[in-house]
Structure 1
Amino acid sequence: MTEALTERTLSDLACSLPGSTRLFHDYKLDFCCGGQSTLRDAAARRGLDAERIAGELLALRPGNDERDWRQASNRELIEHILERYHDRHREQLPELIRLAARVEKVHGGRADCPQGLAAHLHLMQEELESHMCKEEHVLFPLLGQSVPLFQVQGPIGVMRHEHDEHAASLARLAELTNDLQPPANACNTWRALYAGLEELRRDLMQHIHLENNILFIGANQPS
């Protein structure tokens, strides 16, 4: 049973096994932009035991708030993305930028201070806002109106490319912050900043997963 799971792609597992994305986050497996890798290959690249992870997948119990979004209509999924992720990102980033600027100002003399983090987050905010506006004003209205997927492959291609850029931004975020691990003697502001960044990372990866692996491949019903 576990061997069969190891040969499935991360995107397939993320779509079909509620709770799997939480486990993938814990193991730092990219199920959104890197979702076409099999569990075995993705685990091998990180030096992980694929059979062990597959066993943990089999033991998962879905949370109450988890849903199989492949069974939803385009409009339902789009509404969920807008409310759960677009709105949330717009709330998260201004506060994270403020916290990052404070940490850099107060602890800038330390070697382990994440210098450049506030500027990087500001760039992420600008890129995300541009991306979300394109979805809200161009792509999502088309998908919500049952336009055939072949007619929107251009906008979808642009969004997929920008998702790859968001993934690269998350990788840079990890580089700046020691993979979001605060120093042992970090102040409360520093710890709050990294906790908020971890939430942003998880939210953004789930956001990209829902679009790349479900909405953009036409798994949903039109209405």
Structure 2
Amino acid sequence: MTTTLTEQTLGSLACLIPGATRVFRQYKLDFCCGGDTPLRDAALQRNLDALAIADELAALATDPASEPDWRNAAASELIEFILERYHERHRDQFPELIRLASRVEQVHGNKADCPTGLAEHLWTMQQELESHMLKEEQILFPMLRRGVQLPQSQGPIAVMRYEHDQHGDALQRLAELTNDITPPANACNTWRALYRGLEELRDDLMQHIHLENNILFAQAATH
């Protein structure tokens, strides 16, 4: 079974096995924007043991976690979950993270490991994500709720997928600015609180993109 799992894409495994996304985050495998990459190739790119990861996934498959399986849910149900769990959450996350980042840069800007430019980057992410979410809320999601499928929904979905890739690039830049969201040993409490929040933001945004790219948009293409 494990060999078979290595041939499947990260996105399909994330849909198929509850809890798989936690494993992928642990190994820093991109299952959202990079969801079309087979596990074997993704592991090779990061010098990881694909069979060992597949063993972990196989164990989850036989003892599934309590995460909901959205593959058979109605589009309207998944959309409502995305709106409540991710859109509202992202709007709450950014103001505080920007405030904390500004404080860290102001107090520790003379230190070599200070994430200089982080507050500005978070502000840009906030603006881009807000624009993206509004397009979903005002255009694409109402279409999908009405049952509009391809080809009418193809254009909006293509735009959202492209912007998801841009969000993935923004997360990569976030990692570069923060030593992969790892605070230095002597970091103050504000710095550590900031990085805990950034870790949560990254996890939430990756799961958000996964649910849309690999489930919601994929269903619109097949129904």
- Map of 1:67 onto structure 2: 68
- Map of 1:6 onto structure 2: 6
Q: SS at the partner of 2:37? A: coil
Cα distance, 1:220 vs structure 2 = 9.5
Instruction: Provide the rounded CA distance (Å) in 1 between the counterparts of 2:220 and 2:153.
Output: 15
Instruction: Provide the rounded CA distance (Å) in 2 between the counterparts of 1:93 and 1:82.
Output: 16
Alignment of 1:30-45 (within 5 A): 30-45=30-45
Q: Cα deviation per residue 1:165-211 (whole Å; 9 max; x = unaligned)? A: 00000000000000000001101110110110000001000000010
Q: Is the 8 A contact 2:100 2:190 kept in 1?
A: yes
Q: Cα deviation per residue 1:138-179 (whole Å; 9 max; x = unaligned)? A: 000000001123211001111010000000000000000000
Q: SS at the partner of 1:151? A: coil
Q: Cα deviation per residue 1:20-51 (whole Å; 9 max; x = unaligned)? A: 00000000000011011110000000000000
Give, as a single letter, the amino acid of the residue that structure 1 aligns with 2:136. E
Is residue 193 from structure 1 mapped to residue 197 from structure 2 by the alignment? no
Cα distance, 1:219 vs structure 2 = 6.2
Give, as a single letter, the amino acid of the residue that structure 2 aligns with 1:35. G
Identical columns (%): 69
Alignment of 1:12-161 (within 5 A): 12-60=12-60, 61-64=63-66, 66-161=67-162
Give, as a single letter, the amino acid of the residue that structure 2 aligns with 1:63. A
Q: SS at the partner of 2:53? A: helix
Q: Is the 8 A contact 1:214 1:220 kept in 2?
A: no
If the length of structure 1 is used for normalisation, what is the TM-score? 0.97
Cα distance, 1:221 vs structure 2 = 9.7
Q: Is the 8 A contact 1:6 1:50 kept in 2?
A: yes
CA RMSD of aligned residues (A): 1.3
- Map of 1:182 onto structure 2: 183
Instruction: Provide the rounded CA distance (Å) in 1 between the counterparts of 2:89 and 2:64.
Output: 23
Instruction: Provide the rounded CA distance (Å) in 2 between the counterparts of 1:72 and 1:21.
Output: 19
Give, as a single letter, the amino acid of the residue that structure 2 aligns with 1:89. H
Over 3 Å counting, the alpha-carbon distance change for 1:54 and 1:206 in structure 2 is same
Give, as a single letter, the amino acid of the residue that structure 2 aligns with 1:45. Q
Cα distance, 1:94 vs structure 2 = 0.5
How many aligned positions are there? 221
Give, as a single letter, the amino acid of the residue that structure 1 aligns with 2:95. P
Instruction: Provide the rounded CA distance (Å) in 2 between the counterparts of 1:62 and 1:174.
Output: 30
Instruction: Provide the rounded CA distance (Å) in 2 between the counterparts of 1:83 and 1:90.
Output: 11
Q: Is the 8 A contact 2:144 2:220 kept in 1?
A: no
Q: Is the 8 A contact 1:73 1:220 kept in 2?
A: no
Instruction: Provide the rounded CA distance (Å) in 1 between the counterparts of 2:200 and 2:151.
Output: 34
Cα distance, 1:111 vs structure 2 = 0.3
Q: Is the 8 A contact 1:70 1:219 kept in 2?
A: no
The gaps in structure 2 that reach 5 residues or longer are none
Instruction: Provide the rounded CA distance (Å) in 1 between the counterparts of 2:172 and 2:13.
Output: 23
The gaps in structure 1 that reach 5 residues or longer are none
Q: SS at the partner of 1:171? A: helix
Instruction: Provide the rounded CA distance (Å) in 2 between the counterparts of 1:91 and 1:135.
Output: 18
Instruction: Provide the rounded CA distance (Å) in 1 between the counterparts of 2:198 and 2:129.
Output: 15
